[in-house]
Amino acid sequence: MEKIIVAIDGYAGTGKSTQAKSLAKHFGCVYVDTGAMYRAVTYFGQLQTTDGSIDIKLLIDSLPQISIYFEHTKNGQQTFLNGENITDLIRQSKVNNKVSDVASVPEIRSFLVDIQRKMGSSKGVVMDGRDIGTIVFPEADYKFFLIASPKIRAQRRYEEQQKAGITETLEEVLTNITARDHQDSTRTFTPLKKAKDAIEIDVSYMSIDDVFNVLIESIVKL
């Protein structure tokens, strides 16, 4: 196993996690889905209120009670929150619609960034998110930034959700993706942006295998 750090950032629905998983397997590294961590905190916040809204102050005060970890099972990597498997629960539209609000809170970001740095401290890691190459691991060995048109990203997310039995329409998925893009890239604290030294790849018309090959070739060349 190599001790390398690969950061894959970019917009929702560009296939970051698919690529990050394959790269982690290829290099025998740990894979960390940081979006799932923001989703887990959002889900926790929604459990604290009766109407599914988020009380940000209460959530910030409760951060020490939150434990998030990943486990490999025969169904792939699963996300756990305080011992509960929340892998499917955090993909629901209820969480989709609030996660960018939660991800814009500096205290929550600092809490998760600390955990993410620890997760990458001992072994090689492939981490995907929005701020991995800029904030979490600015010294990452390899940095990629994936982009694609909003319509193509919405179509991909829609197909994924259909397979998972989630019944949002394509229009709803597109509206949510566009709103999250806007919120994630305009938030004041550590917004989504490409690291200066990241390699940008427009995946709009590329297959999953094509993107993987470009990533591997770039890593070999660097």
Scanning 76-84, 118-126, 129-137, 146-154 for contacts with ligand DC by CB under 6 A, the matching segment is: 129-137
Residue 39 CA to its chain's centroid (Å): 9
Residues 55-94 that bind ligand DC (CB under 6 A): none
Phi, psi dihedrals of residue 217, rounded to the nearest 5°: -60, -40
- Cβ-based neighbours of 86, under 8 Å, separated by 6 or more: 40, 43, 79, 80
- Is 138 in contact with 3 (CB distance < 8 Å)? no
Scanning 61-69, 78-86, 124-132, 167-175 for contacts with ligand DC by CB under 6 A, the matching segment is: 124-132
Nearest to ligand DC of 24, 99 (CB atom): 99
The answer to whether residue 129 forms part of the interface with ligand DC (CB under 6 A) is yes
- Is 216 in contact with 126 (CB distance < 8 Å)? no
DSSP code, position 143: E
Closest CB 221 distance from ligand DC, rounded Å: 26
Work out the end-to-end distance of the chain between its first and last CA atoms, rounded to an integer number of angstroms.
19
Which residue from 4, 18, 21, 35 is in contact with ligand DC, where contact means CB under 6 A? 35
Residues 134-193 that bind ligand DC (CB under 6 A): 180, 184
Task: List the beta bridge partners of residue 199.
Answer: 144
The residues that touch ligand DC, with contacts defined as CB under 6 A, are 12, 34-35, 38-39, 99-100, 103, 129-131, 180, 184
